[in-house]
Structure 1
Amino acid sequence: MEPLNVEHAGRTLRGVLHLPHPNPSPAPAVVLCHGFGANRFEFGNIFTELARRLAAEGLAAYRFDFAACGESDGDFADLTVSDQVAQVGAVLDTVASHRALDPDRLSLLGMSLGGLTASLAGAKRPVSSLALWAPAALAVDANVPDEVAYWPEILENGYEDLLGKPVTRHFTEDGFGIDPWADAAGHAGPVLLAFGTDDDLLPDDVVDNYRNLYDDRLEMHVFEDLGHTFETVPARAALVDVTVEFLLRTT
């Protein structure tokens, strides 16, 4: 594991690169995108576990902190999905230029808001495949303020308080300009979608939209009676297993 930082819009995004040993240089690589207000370790340190598994199987993995998260520079009040998509573009540029990595074999994985971000970034430039864990398309699925349940709170306070993190007016208005389906349609490769049936961010209509969007390129793994973060030890182990198998096959 080695430090690898990315410069974007005057900010340093801090991350680490897990290289396979021995390294089949140039190695294929997977970029891991964490969720809202999280960091490059993700829940239960699962991104670290996944990165180590991938490296052991011959795939490099890059974990990084989005701006204003973890150890990266930035102000959380400036967070938007559009900015995160741009950050992923800069990350892909840096990873593609690394001497030990194959620029033609790069995949994206994202958790929650990172899943939404990965789906949008993967439509803007060619990547081999996408792995989406509980993607938070509902974060931008409203088109007008009246469809946002917490809009009155934003008008009153300037933000919605989401588990101690501010969902700002800036973030919400940015989302009005994003269509999570049409704007993700540019990706042409395989897609893994993993989610729990008790996840409020993946209701049936959202799952149907993903089916329609990716059609026969979509592989779904459904975890019964589990929520947004796959809350059991067996489920998290299975999530890593199916993801490693998918990425080995598609990156």
Structure 2
Amino acid sequence: MSVVCFKESLHSHNGYDIHMIVTKPFQTQKKVCIILLHGTCSDMNEAGNAYVYLSRQLADHGYASIRFDFIGCGSSDVDYIHYTYKSAISDTNEIIEYAKKLGYDEICLLGWSQGAAIAFLSANEDVSSVIALAPAADMRIMIHKEDYEYAKENGYVWYDPGFKASVRLSLEWFEDVLNTDVLDIYSKKNLPTLAIHGLHDTIVDPNYSRMSVDASAHPNSRVIYMDECDHVFNVLTHGYDYFKIVSQEIIQWLNEVYDKKR
């Protein structure tokens, strides 16, 4: 299937530009848009350009997608110190509004790692399903007390993501994380949820995928564990060998959910 892919910028209500890429089938397409939310300090293309690959696979099966850079990430010209749960939710909500204006009746949020937590928190009345890849559903246990204390004294702490230059995590980010029970909030939304997790993930506990699906309490929710896969489904070591399977599972689940809704 031929694919249309174009760049777009949205001037947000908060006064900065959100940069995105829209990918969709050239002709026949479903009225469903998948919004792809990247993880901590990543960008709209995600690790190993996995979101580039996924967006094309989705388009080949009739699904449009929008991937974008959160504030402080990728092509954003705002400092990462301004990234918080609140800013990420605001960015996501603006992309949801944009997708609705493009004429998409159904919105699915697909988040990876911290992006999955943002998907859970951003799911509003316009969102009809959520997909979580290696969901960091509770980042409170990942916070070191000494970092939080330093941030309280200085307003931020330097964070080294390991794959790019260090960034500043703000005190507001710490307080957002510490005061937000993501799965408790999500449990009130009753949305079909697909969670996929590598069993060799050493960054986010694979049990969070089961907890995320249990929180959804929806009959179409499902958890899939990928044996031998790490936090990024081995895209940095094996290319798309394993991520092809992840993509196939995503598309199959989307077909099941949205075929039932017709």
TM tier, smaller: 0.7 to 0.9
Matched, 1:110 2:106: no
Give the C-alpha shift of residue 226 in structure 1.
Answer: 2.4
Aligned to 1:239: 246
AA at the equivalent of 2:128: S
Q: 1:34 aligns with which of 26, 34, 38?
A: 38
In 2: Cα distance, 1:183 partner to 1:2 partner: 34
The 5-angstrom pairing of residues 73-222 of structure 1 reads 73-98=77-102, 101-102=103-104, 104-122=105-123, 124-140=124-140, 148=145, 150-152=147-149, 154=151, 158-163=156-161, 164-203=166-205, 206-215=208-217, 216-222=219-225
Contact 2:110/2:116 (CA < 8 Å) preserved in 1? yes
Question: In the superposition, relative to structure 1, how do residues 153 and 228 fare at CA in structure 2: closer, same or farther (>3 Å)?
Answer: farther
Inter-partner Cα distance in structure 1 for 2:139 and 2:230? 17
Q: Residue 21 in 1 paired to residue 26 in 2? A: yes
1:229 maps to what in 2?
Answer: 232
1:43 maps to 47
- Once the two structures are aligned, what percentage of the paired residues are identical? 21
Larger relative contact order (CA 8 Å, sep ≥ 6): 1
Which consecutive residues of structure 1, in runs of 5 or more, have no partner in the other structure?
none
Q: Structure 2 CA distance, aligned partners of 1:207 and 1:149?
A: 28
* AA matched with 1:225: E
Aligned-partner Cα distance in 2 for 1:97–1:16? 15
**What is the letter of the counterpart of residue 16 of structure 1?**
I
Tell me the TM-score normalized by structure 2. Answer: 0.83
Give the counterpart letter for 2:138 in structure 1. Answer: L
Q: How far is the alpha carbon of 1:15 from its aligned partner?
A: 0.5
1:203 match: secondary structure:
coil
Q: Is the 8 A contact 1:127 1:187 kept in 2?
A: no
Number of aligned residue pairs: 243
Farther off after superposition, 147-156 or 227-236: 147-156
1:118 partner SS = helix
3-state SS in 2 of match to 1:128? strand
Which has the larger displacement, 214-223 or 155-164?
A: 155-164
- The 1:208/1:245 distance shift into structure 2, 3 A limit, reads closer
Check 1:23–1:149 CA distance in 2 against 1; reply closer, same or farther (3 A cut).
farther
Give the partner amino acid of 1:105. E
Q: Distance in 1 between matches of 2:207 and 2:35?
A: 28
State the alpha-carbon separation in 1 of the partners of residues 69 and 189 from structure 2: 24
Q: C-alpha displacement at 1:205, in angstroms?
A: 5.3
Structure 2 unaligned regions, length at least 5: none
Match of 2:67 among 55, 63, 66: 63
Could you say if the C-alpha distance between residues 19 and 46 of structure 1 is closer, same or farther in structure 2, counting changes exceeding 3 Å?
same
User: Which AA in structure 1 matches 2:37?
Assistant: C
1:77: how far off?
A: 0.5
Which amino acid in structure 1 is aligned with residue 38 of structure 2?
H
